[in-house]
Amino acid sequence: MAIVRTMTKADIEAVYDLECRSFSVPWSLDSLKKEIENKLAYYVVVEEDGAVAGYGGLWGVLGEGEVINIAVAIDYRGKGYGQLIMESLLDYSKEQGFERITLEVRYSNEVAKKLYIKNGFHQIAVRKNYYQKPTEDAIIMAYEVSK
């Protein structure tokens, strides 16, 4: 049974582990700890049988949301958890009255792009050589939140 809930301090080690396994340039443990205190941030985890299977979060700044990250642990991918996280971030954005949500994604990350397009995001720009390890362009995507 999977549930989506707000991320807490107790989840940080598991989320850090997930970060390290999912990204070549992961967030540090310290940065993740600070995010729990960040009043502009909203983070959720998907929990399956007590284990953190995925997480995601956004920042709300000046009436806009910016997705900071979404990751699902390898063993839990393809089970709809990325979609659950996305829906929770979209619901939160509607509640907050955000007009738009933006995000960045690696040019070659077809799986993530498919998830975002499925949820109504579209490409608005390309940021050259934005990512490191390996160096790669970022696609900037946006979603206009319906009232």
Ligand X SMILES: CC(C)(COP(=O)(O)OP(=O)(O)OC[C@H]1O[C@@H](n2cnc3c(N)ncnc32)[C@H](O)[C@@H]1OP(=O)(O)O)[C@@H](O)C(=O)NCCC(=O)NCCS
- Stretch binding ligand X (CB under 6 A), from 1-9, 29-37, 77-85, 123-131: 77-85
Q: Which stretch binds ligand X (CB under 6 A): 8-16, 30-38, 69-77, 89-97?
A: 69-77
Question: Residue 126, interface with ligand X (CB under 6 A)?
Answer: no
Under the binding rule (CB under 6 A), the answer on residue 96 touching ligand X is: no
Question: How many other C-beta atoms can be found within 10 angstroms of the C-beta atom of residue 63?
Answer: 11
Closest by alpha carbon to 54, among 37, 79, 36?
79
Q: Does 82 bind ligand X (CB under 6 A)?
A: yes
Q: Which is nearer to ligand X, 23 or 64 (CB)?
A: 23
**49 φψ region: left (φ > 0), alpha (ψ -120 to 50), beta (else):** left
Catalytic site residues? 104, 116
Q: Residue 105, interface with ligand X (CB under 6 A)? A: yes
CA distances from residue 129 to 17, 36, 52 in whole angstroms, order as listed: 26, 29, 32
Query: Would you say 141 and 100 are in contact if contact means Cβ atoms under 8 Å apart?
Result: no
Residues engaged in binding ligand X (CB under 6 A): 22, 70-72, 77-83, 105, 109, 111-112, 114-115, 118
